[in-house]
Structure 1
Amino acid sequence: MNLWRKALAELLGTAGLLCAVLGSGIMGERLAGGNVAIALLANTLATVFALYVLIEVFGPLSGAHFNPAVSVVMALRRELPAASLAAYIVAQLIGAMLGAWLANVMFDMSVLQWSTKMRSGWGQWLGELVATSGLVLVILGAPAGKAAQLVASYIGAAYWFTSSTSFANPAAVFGRMFSDSFAGIAPASATGFVVAELLGAAIGVSFYRFVR
């Protein structure tokens, strides 16, 4: 398949993922009546279901990375041609931004906005490191045909057992900056999350090599 088609699949899949994450966060917050636990539960369930479907649909087309950290790992493992890496990452970032904008429009919010939700501190950075290292380990260790179920289940669990609610994805961080809503993240907090995610991906790969 041509690279541009694979990149388009990554763009659409990442857009769908961010639209689900942010849209369900907005809906959950509006309907929860101030109960953050219920809002997070709604956000979690929508993300799990959407992620499973998106991986199943786009996996045969592009591998369904939707995540620059995962694409880098696959390139280092030579499962993604190095020449394709930049196109994948650009497509993922554009898709994340478009997904955020779509969620904003659907819920009658300003299309162009920045999140003001601060997420910072060693605890949250450690949460992102744990979430991303676990995600990479699950992806690399998943039996053939089981990746969609395992990845979606892991992310759903990590929403609750990590302090950061498991972004585990630099593209997700990027997209969430464009929505001042329940699942958003302020631009000032983004760098710490991305650094933690990249370190987590490296740890996940290293641990997988050690155990295998």
Structure 2
Amino acid sequence: MPDDNEHRQSQGFGLNRRVAAEALGTCLLVMTVVGSGIMGNTLSDDNALALLGNTLATGAILVVLITILGPISGAHFNPAVSLIFTLKRQLPRRELGFYVAAQVGGGILGTMAAHLMFNLPMIEVSLKARTGGPQWFSEWVATFGLIGVVLAGMRFEQKAIPWLVGLYITAAYWFTASTSFANPAVALARSLTNTFSGIRPLDLPGFIAAELLGALCAFALMNWLLRQPSVNV
């Protein structure tokens, strides 16, 4: 999630390296989400403990990935974030498709890598149902909050963005009924694992639509809320 300084720095890296950073970051993010879910479920029959392990690992890796890859690509790792920065004119429209493709591809590779580490088939279509109004509203809330955190962080505390995002996602795992996917690429990747963190492919359209709508609503509100105050002379 880029701040203004990172956006300027990232322009010094060619598109190929920025896209590679997006693919790598999304791969490591999904590998952590899926892998920690498998580990937590393996070590404990208590779903609350498994979710706690999943939560802490995901929040921690986000801090690391945004810190080290932010200066290269902006560390979006999320098509909803890339869409918002395209609307802000901080990511050229012609590059949006490359970012999204890298995020989706990296996410799928992350699921496959997690499966290989735990001796599972590389791809397993999920059978875990996650659907219905409360789940969709949860994803709207989760993504609305994520975009709000990123945009406000850019405005007021740019150096803290890795921690702000990591801590927000850590909290959102627990206050949303959906456990806060907040990311279309991650949702797609999680449909390919029939483990603790999975989601049925059938349920993806509702999640992705809610995530994109939440991102757009947050963009509209934060544009007004964070507008530079006018100075009366």
Measured in 2, the distance between the counterparts of 1:37 and 1:210 equals 39
Match for residue 203 of structure 2 among 161, 164, 189: 189
Q: Which amino acid aligns with 1:129?
A: W
Give the aligned partner of residue 34 of structure 2: 22
Give the aligned partner of residue 222 of structure 2: 208
Match for residue 127 of structure 1 among 128, 138, 153: 138
Secondary structure, aligned partner of 2:57: helix
Question: How much does 1:112 deviate?
Answer: 2.1
1:107-146 to structure 2, matched below 5 A, reads 107-142=118-153, 143-146=157-160
1:47-196 to structure 2, matched below 5 A, reads 47-142=58-153, 143-196=157-210
Give the aligned partner of residue 7 of structure 2: none
Secondary structure, aligned partner of 2:91: coil
Question: How much does 1:210 deviate?
Answer: 2.2
* Pair 1:44 & 2:58 matched: no
Question: How much does 1:81 deviate?
Answer: 1.1
The C-alpha deviation readout for 1:31-85, integer Å capped at 9, x for no partner, is 11x2110000000000011111011111000000000000000001001111111
Measured in 1, the distance between the counterparts of 2:124 and 2:183 equals 21
Give the aligned partner of residue 6 of structure 1: 18
TM-score (norm 2): 0.90
Give the aligned partner of residue 31 of structure 1: 43
Which runs of 5 or more residues in structure 1 are unaligned?
none
Identity %: 47
Measured in 2, the distance between the counterparts of 1:210 and 1:39 equals 40
Question: How much does 1:156 deviate?
Answer: 0.3
TM-score (norm 1): 0.98
Question: How much does 1:186 deviate?
Answer: 0.8
RMSD: 0.6
Question: How much does 1:189 deviate?
Answer: 0.7
Question: How much does 1:178 deviate?
Answer: 1.1
Q: Following TM superposition, where does structure 1 have runs of at least 4 consecutive aligned residues deviating by more than 4 angstroms?
A: none
Rg (Cα) greater in structure: 2
Measured in 1, the distance between the counterparts of 2:142 and 2:116 equals 30
Secondary structure, aligned partner of 1:141: helix
Which runs of 5 or more residues in structure 2 are unaligned?
1-12, 227-233
Question: How much does 1:95 deviate?
Answer: 0.2
